[in-house]
Amino acid sequence: MGKEMKDAILTGKTTLGIELGSTRIKAVLVNEENEPIASGSHDWENQYVDNVWTYHLEDIWRGVQGSYEQMTNDVMAKYGVELTTIGAIGFSGMMHGYMAFDEAGELLVPFRTWRNTITGPASEQLTKVFQYQIPQRWSIAHLYQAILNGESHVKDIRFQTTLAGYIHWKLTGEKVLGVGEASGMFPIDIQTREFNKGMIGQFDELISSYQYPWKLEDILPKVLVAGESAGVLTEDGAKLLDVSGKLKAGIPLCPPEGDAGTGMVATNSVAKRTGNVSAGTSVFAMAVLEKELSKVYEEIDLVTTPSGDLVAMVHCNNCTSDLNAWVSIFKEFALAMGMEADMSKIFSTLYNKALEGDAECGGLLAYNYFSGEHITHFEEGRPLFVRTPESKFNLANFMRVHLFTALGALKIGLDILVKQEQVQLDEIYGHGGLFKTKDVGQKIMAGAINVPVSVMETAGEGGAWGIAILASYMIRKAEGQTLDDYLSKHVFEGKTGSKMQPDPNDVEGFEQFIKRYIKGLEIERKAVELL
């Protein structure tokens, strides 16, 4: 095994994925079987400068180089060889945001990340003009807001891209984006799998009075789908990525993708009628659609898979924070009673207790809003627990209601898809903290959305692994082989995870709970107003 692995590394039978998340940059090297063989990471934080969430360019490169260097050290430590070539490389990053460059390729204003909510008027107007949901974090909303603000740099823009697109451009000289990442800049026409030409025309018309020297199409990157070639590592690019100078130029790169797309790849949910739910501090669900939605919903964002299929995304700010806070209270109680308090045992005991509760939580009600929640129209939140004197107040129902409410806002968004738009889903893949305790989060999620939920063992490597697989798909796919087919045959074959069907009692119980939840939103409004 050792010798084979060494040869594979030396002859470039590997692919590398690097993903820039909001707090960590991760590099994962995979072998021909798409299994991770080495990794490296670099922690970083965004800065709040002049009312804008940003990362400095120096920090971006320090992070990319640092995670790459750590990965090569890992290769040396494990296999005793130096990494000088790689079969293919891919970059992925946080989607959306604003990076605008001038004629000389210089950044015009500090990078504005997806976290900024400074584009309200632009987002609202563009949604009206396009009749297509344009969230505040999208690149086009940032551009239009800069125009509305009368910012002087706009006339000098010659290229606009995202974080992943920027790194890819600097390493290859190519101004391109994968379609999934591009779908968070500007709407995609799912027939052509390119930016929507009609909407580009509408945008140029909208800003014609400003008489800028550019048209929108001139400053956007070219859109590519998964599997297409996106350029090669230049001599300068190789030096920029590997400061030791050992990496050779000429390595092919796959289209740069967004973290949503790499998450879909890493959870094997790029096929139509599948989707995934990531549930931790916040929660989002993505469902791959068979057709366009009948109308615009402000609760639902539309993006695409790395192959260009339409995806509906429901994103909620709040998920497990309030639940974790209650679990900590029980830990304090255990310690006060002089008992041993192992956190994973406490979680497991309390989560499992929730399965003994009444289907609809015995009349209890809770809101987990640490912050605002756009699905239910809250600018800020107040965690809240409410009951009537008649409610069945016991530990099982108490835990159950806090697990239910962690998925409350998500359920409202997904109900639009499933009940109003009749979207068919055969299976959803769950990942994130909520699913750590075996079976519990999975069972409750299946009941909430009335769709079978699977939890994979392999989702641990996350997006960096996902983009490494996209690099591997580009160089290893058979003629005409779809991404979905490649994933099921070469990556997830035999790794089905555990699948759980919805329990009719849970489904019925959640329906009763969500009526109570919607009715009680008035109480939450009062709490925000008075507390």
Give the residue with greater pLDDT, 459 vs 15.
15
- SS3 sequence, 460-472? HHHHHHHHHHHHH
| DSSP-derived 3-state class of residue 410 | helix
* pLDDT given for residue 168 in this prediction: 98
pLDDT in tens, 130-150: 999 999 999 999 999 999 999
* pLDDT given for residue 409 in this prediction: 96
* pLDDT given for residue 304 in this prediction: 96
Give the residue-averaged pLDDT of 465-469: 96
Mean pLDDT, the chain, rounded, equals 94
**Residue 461 pLDDT > 90:** no
- SS3 sequence, 230-295? CCECCHHHHHHHCCCCCCCCCCEECCCEEHHHHHHHHCCCCCCCEEEEEECCCEEEEEECCCCCCC
Domains observed in the chain: 1-93+227-267+465-499 (3.30.420.40), 321-408+505-530 (no CATH)
**Residue 9 pLDDT > 90:** yes
CA proximity to 523, closest of 366, 408, 373: 366
pLDDT in tens, 207-246: 999 999 999 999 999 999 999 999 999 999 999 999 999 9
Range with the poorest average pLDDT among 142-156, 304-318, 377-391, 424-438: 424-438
> What DSSP assignment string belongs to 145-199?
HHHHTT-GGGGG--EEE-HHHHHHHHHHS--EEEHHHHTTTS-EETTTTEE-HHH
CA proximity to 12, closest of 88, 73, 72, 91: 88
CA proximity to 279, closest of 395, 437, 134, 504: 437
The long-range contacts involving 165-170, CB below 8 angstroms and separated by at least 24 positions, are 165/99, 165/221, 165/256, 166/60, 166/99, 167/20, 167/60, 167/64, 167/91, 167/93, 167/256, 168/91, 168/230, 168/231, 168/253, 168/255, 168/256, 169/221, 170/237, 170/240
pLDDT band at residue 184 under the 50/70/90 scheme: very high
Task: State how far the Cα of 282 lies from the Cα of 29, in Å rounded to an integer.
Answer: 28
* pLDDT given for residue 211 in this prediction: 96
pLDDT in tens, 283-317: 989 999 999 999 999 999 999 999 999 999 999 98
